[in-house]
């Protein structure tokens, strides 16, 4: 693996333990320093070198000179009055902001992280993509979202979903590094089986992902069951057909043994008819999969509306009658801009309005 550099310095929190050991050697330091430093960063979640009490001042000074130590500034935290879901807005070193969500379930705490600042995939209903892609997040910046939330809540995170802003497969190398660090036994040690990566469907990357030897769940944002409808909602559908996507999903299942999740956002009058449900059933029946229905979260920039509640139920019933595993995703944090990219967007808007002497947005 290539080492990661930020501002001309090695991004120390993105290094694997083996890489850190090699780096210590190069620095003329004892090998055990690597494990000490690694555990401070990834297990004890130290916010800075000051907290690393068993390391000498001179060693820490060397580290400061040589390394960039990723950390996030907590810009805003919103807590849902309905279900306790918390939405975090984090500031990055270059002034960009990203959002992450903390959700409590019976089976544990889950964090949804962003993988990029903005997104270039252009899905029509998604707020994250409206201004395009700003930049990729480093592995350390992805990890830090989880570390910061763990410290803020004082509770262990057991599940991680890469379903926030960005297309993880468009930031592939950093994604893989992030997943390895997140699930490393010397770090936070999150179980691979409790990690989900969601993609809009970059077929070559999905296939490559199948060969990484990871046991994570792959979620495919399908949102339509034929190419024509999918192309209206997702520009990526012009590049890869549903047939190619299904082949890639099947390949992922065969390589990893992990059941695929299909995400299907129900948009009123667009993809929620009985015929859509039948077509989706035919696709899903051919694979070991689970369908997650998500009533679309309307964003003000687009005029898509949610399917009516009884339509959502009818759609689900149809899939069930066709013996498809299906759930309707519980809407978490609806009162706190739960939809992908909404909080970051509001924040950006409020800053530009401050600049023009206007009212603050959120
Ligand atoms: N780029 C990845 C992951 C980020 S989006 C992907 O496409 O899967 C996470 C999920 O939320 C995707 O299924 C996406 O299509 C969906 N999504 C985005 N905006 C939404 C909205 N306004 N309402 C419902 N689902 C939305």
- For 62-117, the pLDDT digits (tens) are 999 999 999 999 999 999 998 889 999 999 999 999 999 999 988 899 999 999 99
Residue 289 has pLDDT above 90, yes or no: yes
DSSP track, 128-193 = GGTT-EEEEPPHHHHHHHHHHHHHHHTS---EEEE-SSS-GGGGHHHHHHHHHHHT-TTTT---GG
User: What pLDDT was estimated at residue 339?
Assistant: 58
Beta-bridged to residue 87, according to DSSP, are 78, 101
Q: How far apart are CA 115 and CA 172, in angstroms?
A: 10
Mutate to test the pocket of ligand 1, among 198, 293, 300 (most ligand atoms within 8 A of CB): 198
235 and 266 belong to one structural domain: yes
- Is residue 358 a part of any domain in this protein? no
User: What pLDDT was estimated at residue 360?
Assistant: 26
- Is residue 2 a part of any domain in this protein? no
* 10-19, 21-30, 75-84, 353-362: segment of lowest average pLDDT: 353-362
As a whole number, mean pLDDT of residues 203-227 equals: 98
128 and 164 belong to one structural domain: yes
SS3 342: helix
201 and 236 belong to one structural domain: yes
Residue 145, both tokens:
């979202």
Beta-bridged to residue 220, according to DSSP, are 199, 262
User: What pLDDT was estimated at residue 362?
Assistant: 19
297 and 232 belong to one structural domain: yes
44 and 130 belong to one structural domain: no
Mutate to test the pocket of ligand 1, among 100, 123, 236 (most ligand atoms within 8 A of CB): 123
User: What pLDDT was estimated at residue 352?
Assistant: 55
Å from CA of 125 to ligand 1 middle: 8
pLDDT band at 134 (very low <50, low <70, confident <90, very high): very high
190 and 310 belong to one structural domain: yes
pLDDT band at 1 (very low <50, low <70, confident <90, very high): very low
CATH number at residue 125: 3.20.20.70
Residue 335 has pLDDT above 80, yes or no: no
User: What pLDDT was estimated at residue 361?
Assistant: 24
Q: Which of 51, 68, 85 represents a domain boundary (last residue)? A: 68
Q: Is 5 a catalytic residue?
A: no
Q: Is 112 a catalytic residue?
A: no
User: What pLDDT was estimated at residue 359?
Assistant: 29
High-pLDDT (> 90) share of the chain, %? 85
Mean pLDDT value across the chain: 92
Å from CA of 221 to ligand 1 middle: 7
Q: Is the CB of 126 under 6 A from ligand 1?
A: yes
Q: Which residues span the domain enclosing 33?
A: 8-68
199 and 148 belong to one structural domain: yes
Beta-bridged to residue 262, according to DSSP, are 220, 291
138 and 27 belong to one structural domain: no
Q: Is the CB of 214 under 6 A from ligand 1?
A: no
* 105-109, 117-121, 202-206, 318-322: segment of lowest average pLDDT: 105-109
As a whole number, mean pLDDT of residues 38-58 equals: 97
User: What pLDDT was estimated at residue 231?
Assistant: 98
Domain count along the chain: 2
177 and 300 belong to one structural domain: yes
115 and 161 belong to one structural domain: yes
CA–CA distances in Å: residue 330 to residues 119, 293, 296, 310, 338 = 25, 9, 12, 15, 12
- Which residues, in sequence order, are CB contacts of 301 under 8 Å at separation 6+? 127, 130
CA–CA distances in Å: residue 172 to residues 139, 175, 208, 280 = 10, 5, 10, 28
44 and 111 belong to one structural domain: no
């Amino acid at each position: 693996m290539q080492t990661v550099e930020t501002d001309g310095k090695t991004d120390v929190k993105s290094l694997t333990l083996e890489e850190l050991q090699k780096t210590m050697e190069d620095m003329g330091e004892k090998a055990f320093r690597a494990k000490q430093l690694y555990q401070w960063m990834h297990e004890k979640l130290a916010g800075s070198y000051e907290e690393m009490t068993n390391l000498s001042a001179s060693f820490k000074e060397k580290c400061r000179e040589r390394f960039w130590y990723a950390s996030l500034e907590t810009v805003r935290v919103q807590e849902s009055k309905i279900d306790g879901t918390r939405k975090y807005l984090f500031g990055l070193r270059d002034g960009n902001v990203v959002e992450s969500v903390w959700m409590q379930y019976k089976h544990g705490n889950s964090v949804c992280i962003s993988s990029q600042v903005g997104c270039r995939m252009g899905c029509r209903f998604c707020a994250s993509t409206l201004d395009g892609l700003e930049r990729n997040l480093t592995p350390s910046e992805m990890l830090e979202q989880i570390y910061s939330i763990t410290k803020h809540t004082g509770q262990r995170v057991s599940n991680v979903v890469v379903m926030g802003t960005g297309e993880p497969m468009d930031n592939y190398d950093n994604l893989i590094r992030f997943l390895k660090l997140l699930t490393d036994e010397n770090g936070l040690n999150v179980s691979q089986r409790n990690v989900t990566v969601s993609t809009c469907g970059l077929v070559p990357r999905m296939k490559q992902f199948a060969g990484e030897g990871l046991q994570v769940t792959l979620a495919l944002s399908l949102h339509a069951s034929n190419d024509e409808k999918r192309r209206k909602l997702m520009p990526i559908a012009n590049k890869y057909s549903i047939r190619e996507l299904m082949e890639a999903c099947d390949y992922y299942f065969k390589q990893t043994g992990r059941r695929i999740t299909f995400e299907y956002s129900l948009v009123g009058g667009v993809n929620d008819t009985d015929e859509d449900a039948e077509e989706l059933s035919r696709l899903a029946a051919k694979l070991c999969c689970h369908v997650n229905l998500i009533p679309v979260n309307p964003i003000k920039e687009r005029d898509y509306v949610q399917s009516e509640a009884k339509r959502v139920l009818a759609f689900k019933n149809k899939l069930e009658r066709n013996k498809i595993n299906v759930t309707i995703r519980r809407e978490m944090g609806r009162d706190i801009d739960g939809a992908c990219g909404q909080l970051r967007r509001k924040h950006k808007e409020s800053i530009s309005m401050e600049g023009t002497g206007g009212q603050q947005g959120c």
